[in-house]
Amino acid sequence: MYDERFPGLRRRGFLAATSGAAALALVGCAGGTDDKADSASGTPKRGGRLRAAFAGGGASETLDPHLANLFADVARAKALFDKLADYGADLSAQPRLAEKWESNKTLDRWQVTLRQATFHDGKPVTAKDVLYSYRRIADPKQAFRAKASLEPVDLDASRATGERSIEFVLKRPTAEFPNVLAAFGAYIVPENATEFDDKPIGSGPFRFVSFAPGRSAVFRRNDDYWDGAPLLDEIEFVVANEESARVNALLGGQVEYAHELNPTTARAHESGGQIEIVRLRNSAMQAFCMKTDRAPFDDKRVREAFFLIADRQELVDGALSGAGEVGNDLFGKGYEYYAADLPQREQDLDKARALLKQAGAEKLKVTLDTSAVAAGFTEAAGIFRDQAAKAGVTIDVKMGSKDSYWSDILDNGTLCCYRSGAMPIEAHVSQRLLTDSTTNATKWQHKDFDALYQQAQSTRDKTERAAVYERMQRRLYAEGGFLIWGFADWIIGTGRTVRGVETKAPANTLDWARFDKVWLA
Amino acid sequence: MKRAPKGRGELRDLPPWRRTRQPAFRGTSFVARRLLLGAAQTVAVVLLVFALTEALPGDAAVALAGDQPDPARIAAIREAMDLDRPAYERLADWATGLLHGDFGTSLASGRPVTQYIADGFGPTLVLAALTLALLVPLGFGLGVLAARHEGRLVDRLVSSVTLAVYAVPEFALGVLLVTVLALKLAWLPPTAVGYGTDLLGHPAALVLPVLVLLSRPVCSLSRLVRAGMVDALASPYAAHAHRYGVPGARVRYAHALPNALAPAVQQLARTVDWLLCGVIVVEALFVIPGLGTVLLNAVAERDVPVVQGLAVVFGVLTVVLNLGADLVAHKLTPRAGVVA
């Protein structure tokens, strides 16, 4: 039940065509060294103002961190607020406001100790603030995005056991409870705070200065930040929905950081020397989603045939302009618990044809739903149609509405384009692959698979847990409903003077859009 | 005079120029009729916009849920937004509020719609005013210049340049100007990003958007003025005036130009309407958060109250502008007759 799914462009109808590949991270590279772009160039320097351009939500934008939906919302929220934990580059939870956490033997009670931190008004961050924040998010009358993530927590039974310690009572064993603390939008706000657009108070690295929805937000360094004061004096977030406008503003020196660029833009400027291109590699999952509960995909031989039809490199080159890496029908390449040992699947049209014949599905006709809702979708659909034709499968590509696409494809159709941003593998499973998952677009509903997930969540030992996750992934690899063909780069442009931009941080992880560590040379 | 108002028989006994000197009563009823018609048109626009927005796939709850379309969450959002009530009830509530001057609140943010309109109107107005201030002298000037030199080099030059510029779509021109003037030569800032709250404080950032906005209207306006003047100068009354020895300048500016003005004023009204009611491409290209941007976001978010509020504003603006243009045209060429 984690929600860090690619919050990017969903409301940006007309921009979808120009917005960059749908993704975030860079996890693929094995080694974790020399993470900083330009880290070679000198010691960090204090001072200056950085202007960062994001695609935004227009006049409806808010600074309420619990309402965060778009990348711009999250970037602003993490400048002003903190979560108890946040995701590292491999999507494992790292302590933030929480100093440590400990569970009981049965993994259904967790003791969380807060570090010493203060809000911008000087008041300490206490257990009461945490419980208030979580209860606000879980309010049944509201529809905050993080509500589903907090579902395992029994907030009525959870209580403060001290000024800085909380006992969380869970509804069932949850070995990955720290993921809940790091969930998208689970920010800690001061007790009783309800109004955030006028002088919001957080505990984050920057203090509020001004905010004009859809235009600009200016924040100033918080010298008392518990994780060390930021190097920048000020950060200004500006909103530019057109990718070309963000690039132009960056080239013209009007901003120093432009989020979400197109692969073609990146290629054009990569060696130009005017700007730096940062590629956060390999984590926006790109897929076709087969509904396993209905014909023709209720036959696992047909699903396997489709796995074998895909020429993944051609899809990456064509639909992502080469800005990405091939997938192996498993979510979360490079993340904690990823089953990296399974052989890379390649196109095998003869075997695909044989499987279809066995399944009695020769001359198969399928409708593939797509939409301009995310970059590369319509291109991927066209390429896959041609690949399928070679195996004797006729694919009819159907364009859908951008603004309601995700809702339309959840229960309808048989085959559709799909993508996802970074989240822990456990969250991908709980959100999409369990019988009672809220967004189970492949209709993967198997009691024995559910049981494996519960087993993983009840397993204290990490190695044993990893073994259970591997079993789950082997099953998905063999007969799952997600044909995951690639992972797109997430592309950021920065000015020549910008230093300290983390290059190995998937979007929505701790180090992505983390401006307290950025500095200007 | 092609037609006289009914019940005003006595006017028919007057010579044409006398009739036009007494527009008071006739003008008032004309304005009243036009305003009534305009109000009806605005209501029709709002109803149509409401119906169309409702007919779009998905609603504000679906749009907000985005890629997390958990049905329970959509239902909760729908309930929080009151979208679970029938469409006609929501429309009736909104209309009742409107009668008290209340435009309602945004579904997406809960902020008043009036604030959306007020915030978006500033940048839009700045752009429109600047464009118009340059458009009028440029458009008329070029038109008159071309007409004066009809068939000669100056005319051909003006005509071919205006035709050529008119053929370039604004986004292409915008990209071209940004690339050359802002990025290559670095004379001007490429966008107005971050200046949304204080556009006038950064006049350099306004040069390119205004240039792009000007480009096509200047062409259409000058061509209209030229055509109207050429027609008028070739007319028997202009020839007659010449025969009477009326100086050429006076024939041109006192007799021919007013004739050319009537269609030009109508065109000008359409241009102002376009400038005020959403220049989406220019706003997006140069990051100017005007009404067009507000409208675009509101449609994508299925934020029906904001879309309706803008429909009212745009409807009223269109009606008032066209009415104004008709009145001016009527003044300039009374004999053309304006049908209400």
Q: How far apart are CA A260 and CA A247, in angstroms?
A: 10
Q: How far apart are CA A54 and CA A21, in angstroms?
A: 15
Q: Quick one: how many helices (H) and strands (E) in chain A? A: 13, 21
Q: What is the mean pLDDT of chain A?
A: 89
Is it the case that residue A296 has pLDDT exceeding 60?
yes
Mean pLDDT of the region B110-129 = 91
Do B190 and A249 count as a contact with CB atoms less than 8 A apart?
Answer: yes
Place of tokens 């509903």: A445
Q: Which range (A95-104, B77-86, B132-141) has the least confidence?
A: B77-86
* Alpha-carbon distance values, B206 to A342, A464, B133, B291 (Å): 57, 63, 14, 16
Is it the case that residue B27 has pLDDT exceeding 80?
no
- A244 interface with B at CB cutoff 8 Å: yes
Give the DSSP letter string of B188-203: S-S--TT-TT-GGG-H
DSSP A50: E
Is it the case that residue B207 has pLDDT exceeding 90?
yes
Output the CA torsion sign for A459, A464, A469, A475. Answer: negative
Place of tokens 């376009």: B274
The backbone region for A270, taken as left when phi is positive above 0, alpha when psi lies in -120 to 50, beta otherwise, is alpha
Per-residue pLDDT tens digits for A257-266: 999 998 888 9
Mean pLDDT of the region A463-492 = 95
pLDDT (0 to 100) of residue B26: 57
Percent of chain A with pLDDT over 70: 92
**Beta carbons of A120 and A201 less than 8 angstroms apart:** yes
Per-residue pLDDT tens digits for B267-302: 888 899 889 887 888 998 999 999 999 998 888 888
Nearest neighbour of B286 by CB, restricted to A236, A245, A402: A245
Residue A86: alpha-carbon gap to chain centroid: 12
Q: Is A156 helix (H, G, I), strand (E, B) or coil?
A: strand
CA-nearest residue to A138 within chain B is B73
Q: How far apart are CA B29 and CA A446, in angstroms?
A: 75
Mean pLDDT of the region A73-100 = 95
Q: Which range (A447-461, A504-518, B238-252) has the least confidence?
A: B238-252
Is it the case that residue A32 has pLDDT exceeding 60?
no
- A257 interface with B at CB cutoff 8 Å: no
- Residue B159: how many CB atoms within 10 A of its CB? 18
Q: How far apart are CA B6 and CA B4, in angstroms?
A: 6
Nearest neighbour of B68 by CB, restricted to A60, A212, A439: A439
Q: Confidence band (pLDDT; 50, 70, 90) for B248?
A: confident
The top-scoring range by mean pLDDT among A277-286, A313-322, B247-256 is A313-322
pLDDT (0 to 100) of residue A80: 97
Is it the case that residue A11 has pLDDT exceeding 90?
no
> What amino acid is encoded at B87 in this protein?
A
Do A60 and B63 count as a contact with CB atoms less than 8 A apart?
Answer: no
Nearest neighbour of B193 by CB, restricted to A57, A141, A255: A255
Which chain B residues are within 8 Å of A5, Cβ to Cβ? 67-68
Phi, psi (deg, nearest 5) at residue B254: -95, -25
* Alpha-carbon distance values, A439 to A411, B71, B74 (Å): 9, 8, 12
Q: Which range (A171-175, A208-212, A309-313, B99-103) has the least confidence?
A: B99-103
Mean pLDDT of the region B192-219 = 88
Is it the case that residue B21 has pLDDT exceeding 70?
no
**Beta carbons of A513 and A259 less than 8 angstroms apart:** yes
Per-residue pLDDT tens digits for A315-357: 999 999 999 999 999 999 989 999 999 999 999 999 999 999 9
- Mutation pick from B79, B183, B287, B299 vs chain A, by most beta carbons of A within 10 Å, is B287
Q: Hey, where are the domains in chain A?
A: 82-182, 284-489
A 112-151: CB under 8 A from B? 140-143, 145, 147-148
Query: Roughly how many angstroms between the first and final C-alpha of chain A, as a whole number?
Result: 41
Is it the case that residue A268 has pLDDT exceeding 70?
yes
- A169 interface with B at CB cutoff 8 Å: no
Q: Which fold would CATH assign to domain A82-182?
A: Dipeptide-binding Protein; domain 1 (3.90.76)
pLDDT (0 to 100) of residue A57: 81
Do B289 and A214 count as a contact with CB atoms less than 8 A apart?
Answer: yes
Do A406 and B178 count as a contact with CB atoms less than 8 A apart?
Answer: no
User: Whole-prediction pTM value?
Assistant: 0.86
Q: Confidence band (pLDDT; 50, 70, 90) for A23?
A: very low
The ipTM value here is 0.81
pLDDT (0 to 100) of residue B58: 80
Per-residue pLDDT tens digits for A393-444: 999 999 998 888 999 999 999 999 999 989 999 999 999 999 999 899 999 9
Nearest-CA distance from B292 to chain A in Å?
11
* Cα B193–Cα B198–Cα B204 angle in degrees, nearest 5: 65
CATH of domain A284-489: 3.10.105.10
Q: What is the mean pLDDT of chain B?
A: 83
Q: Which range (A165-169, A246-250, B55-59, B206-210) has the least confidence?
A: B55-59
